[in-house]
Amino acid sequence: MSAKIVRNFILAILILSSLFFLKPNYLSKEKVSPKEPFIRELPFQISVNPLPKKIQGLPPPKLSAGASVVVDINSAKILYEKNKDIKLYPASTTKIMTALVANETFQENQVFIVDKLIEGDQKNNFFRGEKILFKDLLKALLLSSSNTAAEILARAHPLGREGFITDMNKKAKELSLKNTNFVNPTGFHDDNHYTTAYDLAFLAKKFGENPELIKITSSKEEIVSNLERTYFHILKNTNTLVGKDGVLGIKTGWTEISRGALTTLVNFRGNRIISVVLRSEDRFTDTEKLLAWTASTYRW
C-alpha cells in the first residue's frame, strides 16, 4: 500500500472521528425547535439614555455669579463650569436638604403646631398655635422659602434640632458632597455653613428623583390652610423662572452676605439638566444665560 493511500486513509479516519464527537445538528437525531431560540444574557446593561454632544454654539456666557455649573442628569456630565468647587454660602438653597431630611423623617399627614415664629419671616404670615399638616409645611418651605417652616420641622425631629442637622450632614456624606456642611435648616449665614456649585447640583439631582417634591417646586402658587381651616396662606414660588422653557423649579436663596443663589431643574428637550449659580448679583438672568448657552451648544 502506497504512502499516499495510507495518508488519505488516516485523514478520512480523523474527519469521521471529528464529526462523531462534534455531533452537529445535521448528524443528530435531536431537533432544535425554532420556537425556543438560544438567548445569551449580556453581562452588562446597554444604556439607552441619550448623551449630550457639544456642537459649535455661542461663546461661554458672562455671568455675575461667583460660581456656577450646568450638569446633564443622565450622564452626570458637566456641560458648563465656573469655580464649581469653591466653597460659598448657600442661603436658602439649604432648604433642598431640609426638605429631603424632613421627607424621610415625617409622614405626609403628620400634624405640627406653629409654636414659634422666626423674626422677620413675613412670607407666610403663620399664626402662633396653628396646626399645620406636614405636606403643607413642606410647600411653605419650598415655595415661599419659609424659615418658620424650616425651624418647626427641625425641632420636631426625634432627636431635636441638633439631631435634624446631624441628619442633614449625614445625608450630605451619603451623597458624596465633600465640600458641604450645614449648621442650620434655614440657610442663615454662618461661616461654617457652606457648599459648592458642584455639590449643590448633585444635591438637586437627588431631590429631583422624588416626583412629589418636584410637583411642589414646579408650582407657581399654592394655597394651604391650618387643620381647622380658619386661616389660609397663599404660597408664591420665589423662583420667577418656573413655567418658562421647561423649568421645574427647585430652590432660590439670598442673603446680604451670600448674595443670590439659584438651583434650577429643567426639562431640556426631553432630557433633564441642572443649573446652579451662587454668589450672583442677578441669579435669574445668569440662569437664563446658562440655559440659552446650553441650548445652542449641546445636542442629545
pLDDT at 83 over 80: yes
**What pLDDT score does 6 carry?**
53
Q: Which residue has the cell 502506497?
A: 2
Domain ranges of the chain: 60-299
**What pLDDT score does 48 carry?**
55
pLDDT at 69 over 90: yes
Residue 14 neighbours by CB under 8 Å, 6+ apart: none
pLDDT at 118 over 50: yes
Portion of the chain with pLDDT greater than 90, in percent = 72
Distance from C-alpha of 4 to C-alpha of 187, rounded to nearest angstrom: 95
How many angstroms from the chain centroid is the CA of residue 156?
26
pLDDT in tens, 212-245: 999 999 999 999 999 999 999 999 999 999 989 8
Q: With cut-offs at 50, 70 and 90, classify the pLDDT of residue 24.
A: very low
Q: Which residue has the cell 450630605?
A: 172
Mean pLDDT, to the nearest integer, of 151-179?
97
Mean pLDDT, to the nearest integer, of 14-39?
47
CATH number of the domain located at residue range(s) 60-299 in this protein: 3.40.710.10
Closest CA to 224 of 135, 136, 113, 149: 136
